[in-house]
Structure formats: C-alpha cells, structure tokens
Amino acid sequence: MLEYLHLTNVGPAPEMELELASRLNLITGDNGLGKSFLLDVAWWALTRRWPQDVNPRLTSSYTARPTIPKDPATIEFRMKSKTKSVAYTSKYIPRDESWLGKAGRPWNPGLVIYAQSDGSFSVWDPARNYWKTKGNVDVQERLPGYVFSPKEVWDGLNVETEGKVNRVCNGLLADWANWIREKGDAAKNMKNVLSRLSPSKAIHDRLEPGPLTRISVFQDARDIPSLKTGYSKAVPILHASSGVRRVAALAYMLLWSWQEHRLAARQLGEEPAKQVILLIDELECHLHPRWQRSILRSLLDLARVLHRSATIQIIAATHSPLVLASAEPFFDAKRDAWFDLDLTPDGHAGHVDLRKRDFVRLGDISNWLTSEAFDLKEPRSIEAEEAITEALDLLRKTSPSATDVTRVNHLLKKSLSESDRFWGRWSEFRESREAAK
Ligand SMILES: Nc1ncnc2c1ncn2[C@@H]1O[C@H](COP(=O)(O)OP(=O)(O)O)[C@@H](O)[C@H]1O
Ligand SMILES: [Mg+2]
C-alpha cells in the first residue's frame, strides 16, 4: 500500500503532498493539473521504474523532470511493504537524468496494476518482477515490470532480455480464445469478471461472452472472442465499442495479472501477495453516464472477490461527477480519501495546489459539477451561465434600466429551459419592478 507522497520541484506544482487512504483514493482536477502525473509517480514509487523507460512504445508516463532544472528536486514516499512501513527520499541527478535509487533490494509493495487512460497497462508482480537471490547475493535479473502499450494488451507482449526475445504475455485475444477452447476455470473467471464490471445485472446490460468468431474470411485466421449484445448474439470483441473494449481490457489485465501471479507464487513455493494496488486513470474513460455511475462500486466489489486474502488499495483519477456521486453511499473517511487539484491565481500567473477535501454527500449530480471538484459556476451551458450572471447583476442594482432588463430577459429565454428553476427568481424580480411603477 502506498501511504505517502511528497514532491518538491517536480511536475506542475512547486510542491505536492498527499497522505493516502488505505482503500480508495479519488483524484480530481482540471486538465493538465497533474492527475496522470501523480499516478505515474505513484507507480514509480512502488516499482522504481518509469513506464516509458520499461517500454518506449508508450506515448506517456515519461521520467519525471524537475520544474526548475537548476534547483534540487525530490520525491519522498512511504509505503507498506510486506512486513512494515518504509520510507525513502529520492533526489534527481541532473547529470544522469535519473532519480537516485535506494541501494540494495527494493521494497515489495504487493501486486501493482496501473491502467493508463490511453489503454496502456503496467503490471508489477512481486513473484515475477522481484529480485532473485544467487547464493547470498540479491541480483536483479528479472523483468522490471510488464508494461503494455494499448496494442500489446490485445496482441501480446514480447520483451528482449539479454539479447533474447521472450513472449511474456499472449495478450487478450489469444488468451481469451484459448480459455474459451479449454472450457476451464479461466473462461469462467473472465465471464464472471465481465459480468461484475457490467453497468447492471439486466440482460441487455450484462457483458456476456458469445462464441468464437472470425472477422475476415481471407485475411485473419484468428478466432476472436465475442460478446452478446441487446441486438446480436456475437459482436467480435474487436468490433465492440470503445467503452466495452476498455472494460474488457481491464477485466483481462486484472485477471491475467492475478492468475499469473498466483501461478508464479505457487511454483516458487511462496504465498500470493497480501496487498494489491490498482492505479487507474480516467476511471470513466469512454463510459456512458449509467456505466460511470457503477464502475467504481463494481471495481471494489470485484476486488473483494478476486483478492479474497489480500487488501486492495485503489488510486483513481476522474473527471466525472457521476463517479464522485457514486461513491457517496459507501465513502468512509477512515479508509477513503478525495484529493483535488486547483489552479490558484498568483500575480500574473498561477500555481497548482493539491488539497485533501472533506467528502460530503451532495446528492444531485449537478451539485457535484458546481462543487470544489469541478468548479463550474453553473451546471448549465456557457450561454445560460453568462445570462444568469448578467441577470444576477441586475437583481443587485437599485434601479436597473428597462432596456437592460429586456435584453437580459431575451438572453435568458434563449438559453434556459422553460422549466428552469431560475425563472422563479427572475419573475419575482420583474413583478416587483412592475408593482413599483
Ligand atoms: N515526466 C514529467 N516530468 C515533469 N512534469 C510532468 C511530466 N509529465 C507531466 N508533467 C506535468 O504534468 C502536466 C500534465 O499533467 P497531467 O497529469 O497529464 O494532467 P491531468 O490532470 O489532465 O491528468 C504537464 O503540464 C507537466 O507540468
Ligand atoms: Mg490525465
């Protein structure tokens, strides 16, 4: 479990500090304020490698660079390893363009899975990516992690080690097709995971595997897994919508990493990990509002089933008011936390602030839009917001001109719905003016 991060002079803010909660951590903030960056740093702290360094085919998750190159930069972190809390402060070494590592064996945070927003995935497995012992000496000969570009999640991952290319993962298409052919536990587990991640239990909502299919008579000999939908018995997974593919990839990566980890641990005569950490960027990515509302709860439920004997920590970035609203029934300040990034005006420019916020229930989802999480002035169109701002200005004036009132009335008519609750206030204002004449 990751317990603490403290960044100085690195990334978008001069300083960022967060004391993470043990179960769920939600991160909100405008585009470009550092949500994905914080997840990259969390992954690095846990595994000590930047995803881009492990797999240059990624188009994000580069080594963190100091904000002001000539000033010292540090990343301090604390995590719960297998046995105890451990902390380290790493310094940036400009000459090497890298972060100074702790000497000796790294800490073991448990199984770490990072779902990036573009469909890349990174997995760090304590049974397969940890150090080997040769005699009494620790040597790092194993892979530093499994880092998949979006295409490699589907088609498989090859990794070159010591001049030899090894197939380290077959990918979703081949593995899932094989699981279906074997008719064993793996196919059942995939079906179960997909069902749990579905937007609801309703038959038309449930992600239900169909038969193996082909997508081309002449050009593609692969058997492609399919899904049943409300209108078809078999949509090849390659033709499925972006939302469905995102969730299928998530289901596969969660299952693949856990199954392979258990297998490796058994072969090594070790216990499976007692901690699982899931980092997930833009949790709502490609999902319809109905699905955005259920995905977080589904993930927590799934974790409980998949990792019965392990604790699970989720660190998720989101832009969705539905995700925050969906956490209201179960959010528990003892084990959950919400962090928000804001741009605070500062002279001519501004600076990024990271703050832990009190999570209070807001009920109506539009209340989330106007909360500190999303900072909208009005949960309406830009035109409606401008019209209401002008109307409120007039309401505050002692003697607003008739032309202004007519003009603003016209703007409101153009941008508000007939049933908008603002009409109540506006009509009252107009009636009181009529009465005063
Ligand atoms: N490797 C890096 N080194 C230093 N700063 C970075 C790095 N990657 C991203 N950043 C900082 O983070 C900002 C982008 O933030 P990002 O996390 O992608 O935003 P979002 O909140 O939308 O996910 C950039 O403007 C830059 O300041
Ligand atoms: Mg981002």
In this structure, the residues whose C-beta lies within 6 A of any atom of ligand 1 are: 11-12, 29, 31-37, 62-65
Of all protein residues, whose CA lies closest to atom 19 belonging to ligand 1? 32
Among protein residues, the one whose CA lies closest to atom 16 of ligand 1: 34
Atom of ligand 1 nearest to the CA of 39: 17
What are the sequence ranges of the domains in the chain?
2-164+272-369, 382-436
Strands annotated E in 81-120 = 85-93, 98-99, 111-115
How far is it, in rounded angstroms, from Cα 255 to Cα 298?
15
Q: What is the pLDDT along the chain (437 residues), one digit of tens a residue?
A: 999 999 999 999 999 999 999 999 999 999 999 999 999 999 999 999 999 999 999 999 999 999 999 999 999 999 999 889 999 999 999 999 999 988 777 789 999 999 999 999 999 999 988 766 666 655 556 788 999 999 999 999 999 887 899 999 999 999 999 999 999 999 999 999 999 999 998 888 999 999 999 999 999 999 999 999 888 899 999 999 999 999 999 999 999 999 999 999 999 999 999 999 999 999 999 999 999 999 999 999 998 888 788 999 999 999 999 999 999 999 999 999 999 999 998 888 899 999 999 999 998 999 999 999 999 999 999 999 999 999 999 999 988 999 999 999 999 999 999 999 999 999 999 999 888 87
Looking up tokens 């989330």, which residue turns up? 368
3-state secondary structure of 336: strand
The whole-number pLDDT of residue 306 equals: 82
pTM for the structure as a whole: 0.95
CA 29 to ligand 2 centroid distance, Å: 9
At 136 the pLDDT is 62
CA of 282 to the centre of ligand 1 (A): 14
Amino acid, single-letter form, for residue 129: N
Long-range contact list for 210-219, CB < 8 A, 24+ apart? 210/234, 210/235, 212/177, 212/180, 212/181, 215/239
Distance from C-alpha of 358 to C-alpha of 297, rounded to nearest angstrom: 20
Q: Give, using CA atoms, the residue closest to atom 6 of ligand 1.
A: 11
CATH of 2-164+272-369, one of 3.30.160, 3.40.50, 3.30.1450, 2.20.25: 3.40.50
Residue 252 neighbours by CB distance under 10 Å: 25
Residue nearest to atom 14 of ligand 1 (CA): 32
Instruction: Read off the pLDDT of residues 144-196 as tens digits, 9 standing for 90 and up.
Output: 899 999 999 999 999 988 789 999 999 999 999 999 999 999 999 999 999 99
**Hey, is 179 helix, strand or coil?**
helix
Rg of the Cα trace of the chain? 26
Q: How far apart, in Å, do the first and last CA atoms of the chain sit?
A: 69
pLDDT score at 333: 97
Atom of ligand 1 minimally distant from the CA of 37: 17
CA of 117 to the centre of ligand 2 (A): 7
CB-CB contact of 197 with 207 (8 Å):
yes
DSSP state of 216: -
